[in-house]
Amino acid sequence: MQRFRRRDFLKRGAATAVGASLGMTHISPLVLNPRAFASFGPNDKIVLGFIGVGRMGQGNLKIFMKHPDVEVAALCDVYSPNLEGALKITEGRAKTFQDFRGLLEMKEIDAVVICSPDHWHPLQTILACDAGKDVYVEKPISVYLREGRHMVEAVRRHKRVVQVGTQQRSSLHFQEAVDLIRKGYIGKVSFVRTWNYGNEFPEGIGNPPDTEPPRELNWDLWLGPARKVPFNANRFGVSPDRWSSFRWFWDYAGGMMTDWGVHLLDIVHWAMNVDAPQAVSAHGGKLCLQDNREAPDTLQAVYQYPGFICTYENRECNRHGLNQHEYGISFHGTEGALFIDRNGFEIVPELTKNDEPRCEAVLKKSSNPMSQAHTRNFLDCVRSRRAPISDIEIGHRSTSAAQLGNIALRSKSTVTWDRDSEKIIGNKDASQYLSPNYRKPWKPT
C-alpha cells in the first residue's frame, strides 16, 4: 500500500473534490422535471408547508426561515400547542391545519417539510408527491422497509425533488473525510464501528399509565396508519426536556437504531461506496431500564458488507465510549484509523515495523453549519430540478440498513439480504417485518 502524505494528497486537490468525486451514488445528474427554473412565489420565493411542528419541526422551521428565498405559507400538527408554537415563529403569517391533506391542497405550496413521527413519513411523502410537491423528509424515512421502496417509486414517478434529513452529508468535514477514505488515505478498510452510548438508568422514560388523550390532541389522527391503542404519554412522547419518546415503540419507529443509526450507517455507506449489507445479525434487549419502551436499551448489530465488517452498538445504561466519545464512527484501515463525529475527524496512523507512521496524522474540526447547508442544497435543487445530496434512494438505503438490524434482533436470526430484489433470503420469520399492516382507512399508495 502506498503511504500517503497529507500535504501531497491535498496538492492533488482531493480535499476540494467534494461534489462529483464523492460518489453521488444513485443520483442522476440530469434534470428531474421540465419545471426547471420556474417562477415560484412572490419575489421568486419558494413557498413551503410544514407537516409536524414539534421540537424537530420547529427547529427545521427556524433553519429554513433563515434562507431569504423562503416563504412559509402553512403549518400542520395534530397537537395544538405545537401548532401555536410554530405559528409564533412565523409571526402569525402561516395558515394552520390539523389534517395534513388540507395543506397539500394548497396550490401555492412548492414543497413540504415533513417532521412528523416516523410512521407518518411514507404516506405523507407519497401523497405530497402525488400533489406535485417537492419534499424534505426527516430520517428515518420509514418504519418498514417496503414503505421506503414505495416512496422511491412515487418520487421517481412524479419526478419530484426529495431530500432526506441526513444532514451530515452537507458537512464539509464529513465530505473531506469521505474523500480521504475513498482515495485510500487510511489504506484498505476492513472494519468499521458505529455507536451511540448514554445512561438513563434506572427509570429511563418512566412508566405512565394509559389515559384519555389531552383535549389539545387528535390521538386518532396521530396514530394514523398505526394500530389503534389507548393513549399513553410515552407513546405520544411530547416532553419539554427530551426528544419525543415515540421513538422507542415499534409501531412508530425503530429505537436508537433508526433514530441515530441511520445517520451513522449513512456515512459508512458513503465512505465505503456501498448501499446495502449482505447479511446482518443482532443481539440485545431491555436489560437494564425499567420503563415501558419496547426498543432495546442494549444492542449490538454486526453487518457483513462486500470487503468489510461494520458494527452498530447502542447502550442506554453506560455512556463510556471509545476514546471517551459517546457516539461516532471509526474506520480502521491498514494505514491508519479515522474517527469522525459532528465536531470533526481525526486520523491516527498505523506504524511500520520501524515505528514509522504509514500516513500523516490529521485533525480536522467542523467548519460549516451542516443543517443550514443541507436545507440550502434542497432549496437549490428545487430550483434546478437536480437530485439533492441526500436523495430519496440514498435515504432509503441507509434507512434499510438500520431496519435490517432491527429485523435481525426481533426475529432472533441472521438476516441474509438480496440487495437488488430487496428480499430476505430463506427466512419467513424475519420477512414478516418488511411490510406494514395499515389501519383502515389508511393504505399504501
Q: How far apart are CA 175 and CA 194, in angstroms?
A: 18
Over residues 257-271, the pLDDT tens digits come to 999 999 999 999 999
Mean pLDDT of 300-319: 98
* pLDDT tens readout for residues 150-207: 999 999 999 999 999 999 999 999 999 999 999 999 999 999 999 999 999 999 999 9
Q: What's the pLDDT at 118?
A: 98
What pLDDT shows up at residue 11? 43
The predicted pLDDT at position 240 comes to 79
Length of the chain: 445
Burial of 107 (0-12, 13-18, 19+ CB in 10 A): exposed
d(C-alpha 70, C-alpha 40), whole Å: 10
Which amino acid is residue 396, in one-letter code?
H
For the chain, what is the radius of gyration of the CA atoms?
22
**What is the DSSP code (8-state) at residue 4?**
B
How far apart, in whole angstroms, are the C-alpha atoms of residue 279 and residue 121? Answer: 26
Q: What are the structural domain ranges in the chain?
A: 26-168+375-389, 170-202+254-367+398-431
Residue 6 pLDDT > 70, yes or no? no
Tell me the CATH class for 26-168+375-389.
Answer: alpha beta
Going by their DSSP bridges, the two strands 308-315 and 298-305 should be labelled as antiparallel
Q: Is the pLDDT of residue 422 over 90?
A: yes
CA dist 289 → 189, 198, 255, 317 (Å): 36, 12, 14, 7
What's the pLDDT at 242?
85
Q: Please state, for a pLDDT cut of 90, what percent of the chain lies above it.
A: 88
> Strand, coil or helix: what is 12?
coil
Q: 375 is written with which cell numbers?
A: 436545507
Measured from the Cβ of residue 131, the count of other Cβ atoms closer than 10 Å reads: 17
Res. 30: pLDDT tops 60? no
**For position 22, what pLDDT does the model report?**
38
Give the span between the Cα atoms of 234 and 199, in whole angstroms.
18
Could you tell me the pLDDT band of residue 42, with boundaries at 50, 70 and 90?
low
DSSP-derived secondary structure letter, 300? E
Residue 28: per-residue pLDDT: 36
Confidence tier at 39 by pLDDT (50, 70, 90): low
- Name the pLDDT band for 16 (thresholds 50, 70, 90): very low
Averaged pLDDT, 75-103: 98
Residue 370 near residue 170, CB atoms below 8 Å: yes
- Say how many CA atoms lie within 13 Å of 15 toward its Cβ: 11
State how far the alpha carbon of 49 is from the alpha carbons of 34, 142, 165, in Å. Answer: 22, 20, 16
Find out whether 153 and 393 touch, Cβ atoms under 8 Å: no
**pLDDT surpassing 50 at residue 339:** yes
How large is the average pLDDT for residues 408-417? 98
For the cut 90, the answer to whether the pLDDT of residue 58 exceeds it is yes
How high is the mean pLDDT of the chain?
92
Residue 322's pLDDT is 86
Is 368 a residue whose pLDDT tops 50? yes
- Nearest-10 crossing angle of helices 172-182, 261-272: 40
CA distance 256 to 319: 14
Pick the CATH number of 170-202+254-367+398-431 from 3.40.50.2300, 3.30.360.10, 3.60.15.10, 3.30.930.10: 3.30.360.10
pLDDT given at position 299:
98
